[in-house]
Amino acid sequence: MIRKAKRNHSLFPDSSLCKYFFNVAKENQADAEKFLEDYRKNTDKNLPIISKATLAEQYQSETMSTVITGMAVSVIIAFVGILNFINSMVTAIVSRKKEFAMIQSVGMTTKQLRKMLIFEGLDYAVLTLAASYLIGTLAVGIGVRVMVASSWSSTFQFTIMPLVLCTPVLLLFAVIVPCICFKNIEKASLVERLRAAE
């Protein structure tokens, strides 16, 4: 390979060698890389060397950076979505204090009311999850697949695992949030709540 470079240089003596590309058989790749590293170390310390291994490392680094960015954005969106879900439930419960006080005054027990709120929370969660599974599957399965198809360096693998992992978290919040809200509402007596409602 060095002989070939010298021959090309002898054909064009007035020009300097800027770049030199060469292929190496797979079994000789380690030897070639060692030779180039020794050459840079002992002969030309400023010689830039780009090998198949360095390109693979660079690509791996860029891929990892993209994955981390995507994961960070997904976690933030999931966090905002869960907070929005909790906020909607809390607002719905707190704004109905008068209604709860009235139905308790005509005989509904605390246990029945708590059960009703938990079922309402689960209804919200099931509707949210159904919409997320449907819209998410369509958006990722069609939209992302089309975007990735135009890129030669990307592959597409469809998975709903992140949504499956979020499902029990959302169902848990659908049970816990109504219980906590109702517990706070119940700190005031029924009479106080009816008077506050007036």
pLDDT at position 163 is 84
- Say if residue 3's pLDDT is above 60: no
Q: How many residues does the chain have?
A: 198
Q: Name 31's Cβ contacts closer than 8 Å, sequence gap at least 6.
A: none
CA-only gyration radius of the chain, Å: 33
- Say if residue 193's pLDDT is above 70: no
Assigned token pair, 110: 């605390």
Average pLDDT over residues 78-85: 85
Residues 135-192: tens digit of each pLDDT: 888 887 787 777 777 776 677 777 788 888 888 988 998 889 888 888 887 777 776 7
Measured distance CA(44)–CA(71) in Å, rounded? 42
Of 106, 112, 111, 101, nearest to 191 (Cα)? 101
How far is Cα of residue 94 from the mean position of the Cα atoms in its chain?
Answer: 33
Q: Worst-scoring range by mean pLDDT, 14-23, 31-40, 68-77, 113-122?
A: 14-23
- Say if residue 198's pLDDT is above 80: no
pLDDT at position 156 is 73
Contacts 24+ apart (CB under 8 A), 191-194: 193/97, 193/98, 193/100, 193/101, 194/98, 194/101, 194/102, 194/105
Tell me which of 173 and 74 has the higher pLDDT.
173
Confidence class of residue 5 from pLDDT cuts 50, 70 and 90? very low
Residues 13-67: tens digit of each pLDDT: 666 666 677 778 878 888 888 887 887 788 777 777 777 778 778 888 888 887 8
C-alpha triplet 106, 107, 112: angle, nearest 5°? 125
CB atoms within 10 A of CB 78: 16
Give one DSSP letter per residue of 9-47, joined into a string: HHHSTTS----------GGGHHHHHHHHHHHHHHT-TT-
Tell me the three state secondary structure of residue 163.
Answer: helix
